Structure 1
Amino acid sequence: MEVKEIQRENTATQLLTIVGAVNDAMKMLLESDESVMILGEDIGKNGGVFRATEGLQEKFGTDRVVDTPLSEAGIIGTSIGLAVNGFKPIAEIQFLGFIYPAYEQIMTHVSRLRMRTMGHYTVPMVIRAPYGAGIRSPEIHSDSTESLFTHMPGIKVVCPSTPYDAKGLLIAAMEDPDPVLMLEPMKSYRAKREEVPVGKYTVEIGKGKRVREGTDVTLIAWGAMMPIVEKAAQQSEKKGISCDIIDLRTLYPIDREIIAESVQKTGRAVIVHEAHLTGGLGNDIISIINDTSFLYLRAPIERVTGFDVPVPFFALEEDFLPTPARVLESIEKAVHF
């Protein structure tokens, strides 16, 4: 059974894609708070490589929607300075694979300034980064290396899979006094439209969502993998297998409670992510299950992931990504153990 999240007080809605919801959230933030700024490469006149910032510079001016030089370290370093001096920057990194030159700034400054200043300063900034494979991008454009940042205390990491969550998480991230990395699944940017409230609302950071009720096996995923696990669950249902689907939404801090509740109900778990197997976030989820629910398990925990190779070029890209067939195979393996 599919579970629908109840929308808040807002009754007026609009049909939006994920990228449209991101644009709508930034527009609302710029309108409501003069301290909000957006920085990034080609985000102004061009509206960003995915048009996520389309129309914003025209409406709010070049002082608030700032085209930057091609320097990720410069974008993040400038945003840190703005954040500790009363501004609320939203820094766009064109692709997650481009973030590595800024990694030092994020690891040594963004995530540590609250601790370093004993709470005298916070860093209220958001870093937006499209991620993932499946759109035929060149090398370094398709990485899914979220675990580099979930291993970084001091910064929260969120990843929406729907337009509703994209808008709500971005607004929540901007209202958070600490830095948030928002990973946006490129493959899902324009995959579907859904009703999104016109007004302001938030999706709580740190809370997962049950997408589908089931009794036989728990499927855990996020971002662009959600449509994959939902298709696998539909195929499983035809074989008499009932799947409980959890969309984490926040990758750090992870919602341990919703994972434990689901696994204790089903006794089985399949974790799906497109990141590489070794060092992937699935390992942390396995640890959470072992810590909270080991005695409830009826079968070993299964993982369906990308492989331990760089994301390949176009001809092999789909072979790298998890598929409904691979997920279904792991579901059946867990259920028939």
Structure 2
Amino acid sequence: MTMIQALNSALADKLADDADVLIFGEDVGYFGGVFRVTAGLQERFGLQRCFDAPIAESGIIATAIGMGAYGLRPVPEIQFADYILPAYDQLVSEAARLRYRSSGEFTAPITVRSPYGGGIFGGQTHSQSPEAIFAHITGLKTVIPSTPYDAKGLLIAAIEDDDPVIFLEPKRLYNGPFDGRPDQQVPGWHGHPAAEVPEGLYRIPLGKAATVREGEAATVLAYGTMVHVALSAIEECGIDAELIDLRSIVPLDIDAIVASVQKTGRCVILHEASRFGGFGGELSALVQERCFYHLEAPVERVCGWDTPYPHAFEWDYFPGPARLIKALRRVTGEA
């Protein structure tokens, strides 16, 4: 399966498994979603289980919170992650705090799906990577898959979770993995080829990182599209780096990060979002706090530019293999 097919399979399996699960959002019903992730679900499960919503992101999320408090498990879609800001107050002030404010009497078991990141030349209105603003909010979980296999297992786990989950789907991976150069496909899905997505329910625990590639020279921390960029760079430069796919940034598998960095003594962090205020800063601080006496070089970050997202220079904005290779050579002393 492609990632689109895997996500569609996860949604279909949960709709069939649990009568409390429902899907709604802009164009997700009859049209099947702008990227076709929900294609065929309304026809199969009916208008009350998969339906369209007005172009009102705050209303979509507010409605989902009410549904969740009532006992349902809604999976609202925000058509692009860039559009989620009108609903940010609902997510922060209501969804994230409902369990605590009600002393556990109510929860918000909602899974907010949204395509995110670049790859379609959408610029600063359709291609942003806002994961850091969700990671900062206590009570929200943030998940970012990198393969079809992970996407299905993580989405099922997210839907079954009793807390609100922001499920960000990298657009560049919807139909296959790509590195930082146009039309350049990365070989393989790090152990999970596109065809190997099981039918039926299976789960990948939230907060459990995956070791994509073992190595001794340095640790690369990545998630989403950047996992494939990192794999391409490591294979190209020949440095024996260990690659960790975080899968979720909240909850974060700190134990896996610490074990890897203590082994290699070096760390490079890779993400598509802008560097300043990005989640890489938090990762860098955590590594420094827990691995200081094991580090043989400063922690490096390879990120997007600290500028508005450029339409015309999208492939230059992306942290590509060349930029990661330079960072790996610096931390290993090969520069």
- Fold match by TM threshold 0.5: yes
Cα shift at 1:137: 1.9
Residue in structure 2 matched with residue 316 of structure 1 by the alignment: 313
Distance 2:329 2:288 in 1: 21
Cα shift at 1:140: 1.1
Matches within 5 A, 1:80-159: 80-159=65-144
Q: Deviations over 1:1-33 (max 9, x none)?
A: xxxxxxxxxxxxxxx111111000000000011
Task: Answer yes or no: is 1:250 the counterpart of 2:235.
Answer: no
Provide TM-score, normalisation by structure 1: 0.93
Cα shift at 1:66: 1.3
Counterpart residue type for residue 276 of structure 2: T
Aligned with 2:328 (options 301, 320, 331): 331
Residue in structure 2 matched with residue 9 of structure 1 by the alignment: none
Residue in structure 1 matched with residue 185 of structure 2 by the alignment: none
Distance 2:244 2:208 in 1: 11
Distance 2:214 2:82 in 1: 35
Matches within 5 A, 1:177-256: 177-191=162-176, 193-237=194-238, 241-256=239-254
Secondary structure, counterpart of 2:197 in structure 1: strand
Unaligned runs of 5+ in 1: 1-15
Return structure 1 stretches of 4+ with deviation > 6 angstroms. none
Tell whether the 8 Å contact from 2:30 to 2:51 is kept in structure 1 after alignment.
Answer: no
Task: Answer yes or no: is 1:64 the counterpart of 2:67.
Answer: no
Q: Deviations over 1:14-68 (max 9, x none)?
A: xx11111100000000001111010100001110000000000001111110100
Distance 2:8 2:202 in 1: 15
Cα shift at 1:139: 3.7
Task: Answer yes or no: is 1:262 the counterpart of 2:257.
Answer: no
Q: How high is the sequence identity, in percent, across the aligned residues?
A: 46
Distance 2:195 2:84 in 1: 30
Tell whether the 8 Å contact from 2:123 to 2:310 is kept in structure 1 after alignment.
Answer: no
Q: Deviations over 1:152-181 (max 9, x none)?
A: 010111100000100000000011111111
Secondary structure, counterpart of 1:130 in structure 2: strand
Secondary structure, counterpart of 2:292 in structure 1: helix
The number of aligned residues is 318
Tell whether the 8 Å contact from 2:21 to 2:49 is kept in structure 1 after alignment.
Answer: yes
The RMSD of aligned alpha carbons is: 0.9
Secondary structure, counterpart of 2:137 in structure 1: coil
Provide TM-score, normalisation by structure 2: 0.93
Tell whether the 8 Å contact from 1:143 to 1:311 is kept in structure 2 after alignment.
Answer: yes
Cα shift at 1:138: 4.7
Distance 1:231 1:104 in 2: 39
Cα shift at 1:199: 2.0
